[in-house]
Amino acid sequence: MEFERAVQELKGHIKDYADEMLTKSKGKDQYECIFCGSGTGSNGTGALTVYENNFYCFSCQQKGDIFDLIQQVEGIDKKQVVQYTAQKYGISIDGKTDNNKSDRTKKEENIDYTTFFRECNKHLQDTDYHRGISLDTLNRFLVGYVPQWTNPKSPKAPPTPCLIVPTSRTSYLARATDSNNKRKVGKTHIFNSKALNNTPVLYIVEGEIDALSVIDVGGNAVGLGGVSNVKHFFEVFDQIERTKEQKFIISLDNDEAGEKAKNALIEGFDERNISFGVYNPCGNHKDSNEALNAGREEFQKAVLHGIENIDNLIEEYNKNASLDYDNKFCAEVLLNDFIGGIAENVNIEAVPTGFKALDDILDGGFYEGLYGIGAISSLGKTTFALQIADQIAEYGHPVLIFSLEMSKNELIAKSISRNTFKRVIATRGDVSNAKTIRGIMTGKKYRFYNQTERELIKSATYDYKDIAKNIFIREGMGNVGADTIVEQVKEHIKKKKKPPVVIVDYLQILMPHSEKGTDKANTDYSILTLKRLSRDYKIPVIVISSFNRENYSNRVSMQAFKESGAIEYSADVLIGLQLMGTGEKDFDVDEAKSRNPREIEAIVLKNRNGRTGGKIGYKYYSMFNYFEELEETPTNSKRKKPDKPVKRDEML
């Protein structure tokens, strides 16, 4: 893996590392601070908080990432910390994770601590910090005690009394007896991995102390040594010759991290076709050791119950897994939801676009799905979509617009400009009084307006205000990607309790999902994410797409959408806008664009659930941001003429 990509992936393991090596305190994702000690007081409230890729202590203001934590906790040299972390989490950096480690680090990992363990074991009875585990079990695993333990990788750190739990000849866990702090020394090893050889029924638990707790009441267990060690567990697992009759019980901590690791273990066992059950003898307690200390007899019964009923546990897991699979994928099960969905949707209607001919082709308007509207530049894509948005809002339906190029003020000015024009023609007024965007937004122009113009702007603004309560605008400038849109749509639905029609303007300037990905890969990701959004929330998502200059003199076609990645395949409906006459002999694109109004055609190129190939004619008054659907179009020649006071072109 490339270095920068590996670093970013490693930073994402900070929560795993904190759960494994830091002491949890009260509060979500909060820990005792290893820099200032905050959280070690009697109230147990820590100030060091772990976020997605970093940490911050609200007490000492220390902040950093996983590498800073590892340097502080384990004393790893700054030059070696990335490679050390990569090895810990099984990530190869350009094929190198072992070769670049310093000789000092390698030497430390190969230190034989056997003599140290025996000496520590002699002092085990010098402490009563045995975590509820009998001396027989602790002695069996050579667990010991050190009254003044110093981390060999942090010799300057203050010494602390610790329980020493060997995990191999060259590694151990040091658990402070005066707090919940724990430190790992040496390369990570799976605790009691020898039990993988021939134990008929074996518990898989999270920590070393948890494994000792299960063993102490008559079971047998291996400890992962932390939720991040599932991959390492299977590396060890695959190297051991086991009997085919061997069975396993997955029993991890009752928390979010334990659930994540449990699922990883299930996936690994399923891939290897290994018999296992999922069962937690801890009850409502967090882990096995906590359950042991809460009630030894009850915990023992629960552990032995799991062993005695292993076949039932395996059968129960397989049955539940099969049912879960059926619920997700079996058509017989899905049929009930399908029928129920029809019943629920019986009163759900399409969202009309406000353009009658377009609604006719779309069977009433927009439905759940992904819609693409594409055209060359300066053809009014944004204006067309915004007018549709206003017309949808006029029906009382919410519209959420992601404007990635134009400001919200520009969009509002477009709508008010359109309204000035509509009012003029509706009242047979003077079209010169209608206002452009600049005429609306430039304050110094207002002092030169006459009373009629001022009243017109006021009325047009009032008209917009009536629908503006259903229009929501989110701006962006290179910082909004498809994932951001998904999150903000979720937020909108949560706050407003009604799913909106979503408009994204426009596809090509969405923030890339990956800086290292190709344009096509990033566009494909955006399209598929927005498609999933439309499906998950059963809403229309309209994506505006820009065509390149090669399409200026060519008829709009599916080919024009190819450069827009997966939209060609994923969209439910594709609508292309073109100048009327495009592709015909002697067609002059500049002359066509100079007309006032411009003559535009909308062509439905793809309609997954309806008609395609239909053309709808529009007059586009670009100065006033207004599209007028023609009274007679190639697909609408028999449509009754709408009741209009005058024809627009006669007013210009």
For residue 608, pLDDT over 80 is answered with: yes
The radius of gyration of the chain's CA atoms, rounded to the nearest angstrom, is 34
Burial class from Cβ neighbours inside 10 Å (0-12, 13-18, 19+) for residue 220 reads middle
pLDDT of 651 reads 35
- Is pLDDT at 598 greater than 50 in this prediction? yes
- Facing residues of 374 across strands? 545, 576
Task: Quote the tokens at residue 495.
Answer: 């706050």
| C-alpha distances out from residue 250 to 192, 264, 469, Å | 15, 11, 53
What ranges in 225-370 are assigned the alpha helix state H? 230-237, 256-272, 288-294, 296-308, 310-329, 331-344, 356-361
Say if residues 226 and 264 touch (Cβ distance below 8 Å).
Answer: no
Contact 286, 254 (CB under 8 A): yes
Contact in structure between 19 and 9 (CB atoms under 8 Å): no
Task: Please enumerate in sequence order all residues whose Cβ is within 8 A of that of 435, keeping only pairs 6 or more positions apart, or say none.
Answer: 416, 417, 420, 453, 456, 457, 460, 624
In degrees, rounded to 5, the angle at the alpha carbon of residue 244 between the alpha carbons of residues 240 and 248 is: 75
User: Could you tell me the sign of the dihedral formed by the alpha carbons of 278, 281, 285, 290, in that order?
Assistant: negative
**485 within 8 A of 533, measured Cβ to Cβ:** yes
Res. 265: pLDDT tops 70: yes
What is the DSSP secondary structure assignment for residue 366, as one 8-state letter?
B
Does residue 595 surpass a pLDDT of 90? no
pLDDT for position 156: 67
Going by the DSSP 8-state scheme, the letter that residue 487 receives in this structure is H
457-473, pLDDT tens digit by residue?
898 899 898 899 999 99
pLDDT value at residue 639 = 38
Mean pLDDT, rounded, for 600-619: 86
Taking only the tens place, the pLDDT of each residue in 297-327 is 999 999 999 999 999 999 999 999 888 887 8
pLDDT band for position 512 (cuts 50, 70, 90): confident
Q: Are strands 471-475 and 615-621 parallel, antiparallel or unpaired?
A: unpaired
What is the average per-residue pLDDT within 90-103? 55
Which pLDDT does position 163 carry in this prediction? 95
| Cβ within 8 Å of residue 257, ≥6 positions away | 15, 16, 19, 227
Position 198 scores a pLDDT of 81
Given CA atoms 639, 644, 646, 647 in this order, what sign does their dihedral have?
A: negative
| pTM of the predicted model as reported, rounded to 2 decimal places | 0.55
Q: Extract the runs of DSSP E, i.e. beta strands, from 580-635.
A: 598-607, 615-621, 626-629
Checking phi first, is residue 62 left (phi over 0); if not, alpha (psi -120 to 50) or beta? beta
Confidence of residue 331 (pLDDT cuts 50, 70, 90): confident
pLDDT in tens, 520-537: 788 888 888 999 999 889
Task: Give CB contacts under 8 A, 24+ apart, made by 84-88.
Answer: 85/10, 85/13, 86/6, 86/10, 88/188, 88/228
Contacts of 87 (CB under 8 A, 6+ apart): 97, 98, 101
pLDDT score at 105: 46
Q: Tell me which of 162-171, 226-235, 270-279 is least confident.
A: 226-235
| pLDDT in the model for residue 621 | 92
- 130 phi and psi angles, rounded to 5 deg: -110, 5
Res 545: pLDDT: 87
The per-residue pLDDT of the chain, averaged, comes to: 84
pLDDT tens digit string along 351-397? 999 999 999 988 889 999 999 998 887 788 899 999 999 999 999 99
165, β-bridge pairs: 173
pLDDT score recorded for residue 227? 81
Helix (H, G, I), strand (E, B) or coil at 96: strand
Closest CA to 449 of 460, 462, 433, 466: 433
* Residues 507, 564 contacting (CB under 8 angstroms): yes
Decide: 32 and 38 in contact? Cβ < 8 Å. Answer: yes
The answer to whether 151 and 141 have CB atoms below 8 angstroms apart is no
> Can you tell me the distance from the alpha carbon of 250 to that of 241, in angstroms, rounded to the nearest whole number?
20
Kindly indicate the confidence band of residue 643, based on its pLDDT and cuts at 50, 70 and 90.
Answer: very low
Residues 548-572 have a mean pLDDT of 72
Q: How confident is residue 154, by pLDDT bands cut at 50, 70 and 90? A: low
Summarize the confidence of residues 556-562 as an average pLDDT. 74
> Regarding beta strands 501-505 and 399-403, do their DSSP bridges make them parallel or antiparallel, or are they unpaired?
parallel
Residue-level pLDDT at 1: 65
Task: Give the count of beta carbons closer than 10 Å to the beta carbon of residue 478.
Answer: 11
pLDDT on residue 652: 34
Check residues 411 and 639 and name the one with the higher pLDDT.
Answer: 411
**Tens digits of residue pLDDT in 168-227:** 999 999 999 987 778 888 888 899 999 998 889 999 999 999 999 999 999 999 999 888
Distances (CA, A) of 368 to 374, 382, 538, 540, 571: 19, 21, 5, 5, 11
Structure token digits, residue 413: 């000015």
Q: Which residue has the higher pLDDT, 453 or 248?
A: 248
- How many Cβ atoms are within 10 Å of 405's Cβ, its own excluded? 15
pLDDT tens, position by position, 101-124: 444 444 455 789 999 999 999 999
